[in-house]
Every structure is written in structure tokens, then in C-alpha cells.
Amino acid sequence: MMMNCKDVSTLIARGELTQAPLMRRLAMRMHLVFCRHCRAFQRQLDAIARAARAATARLANEPGAEFEATLTRRMREDPPQAK
């Protein structure tokens, strides 16, 4: 089974590397061994994910320290609604 760059990069971007049938996964692995452009594309998407996680980590100082206590109080005090 031959796969071209478009097939491989589409599978990579969809996050379907592990779900593809075995033969397809093998063909993709083989393609990646020889194609530096697809390897770079894969590294690039990994880098974007790392950057997004780093951006989210910057939220570490929010919300404030009272967040959990306030949330717990709201859950205790909010009267159960009629179903």
C-alpha cells in the first residue's frame, strides 16, 4: 500500500495514527522514514500542541486561591432544583 504525503499528513493531523488499520499504519511508518517533509510536519504539529499546553499553563495563577472554597460553598448552598 503506497501512501503519499497528503494521505500521511492528513492522518497525522486528524490524530488517527493509532486507529488506522495495521497495513495503513505500516505504510505510513515507512513513508515517514523516507519523507523529511512529513516528519517535519509531524514535529511541527507536536510543537503547536506543546505551545498550546504552555499557553494554558500560564493560567496557573487563575482563578484565585478561593476558587475551590467558593465552588464548594455554592454547591452546598444552592438548593436542589425540582426535576
Partner 1 sequence: MADLDESLLALLRARDPDALRTIADEHGRRIYRAARGMGHSAADAEDLVQDVFLAFLLSLDRFEGRAQVGTWLFGILHRKSLERRRAVVREELSDPIDQLFESQFDTRGHWHLAADAPEHLIHAEQAGGAIAGCLEALPDQQREVFHLRQVEDLPAEAVSKITGLSVTHIGVLLHRARVRLRVCLGEKGWGRR
User: Could you tell me which of 11, 12, 24, 7 has the C-alpha nearest to residue 49?
Assistant: 12
User: Could you tell me which of 45, 46, 43 has the C-alpha nearest to residue 35?
Assistant: 43
For the segment 18-77, give every residue that binds partner 1 (CB under 8 A): 19, 36-38, 40-41, 43-56, 59, 62-63, 67-68, 70-72, 74-76
Candidate list 7, 24, 27, 30; residue touching partner 1; CB under 8 A: 7
Q: How far is the CB of 49 from partner 1 (least distance, A)?
A: 4
Sign of torsion, CA 45 7 27 34? negative
Question: Alpha-carbon distance 50 to 42, whole Å?
Answer: 12
**Residues of the shown chain interacting with partner 1 in the complex, contacts defined by CB under 8 A:** 4-7, 10, 13-16, 19, 36-38, 40-41, 43-56, 59, 62-63, 67-68, 70-72, 74-76, 78, 80-81, 83
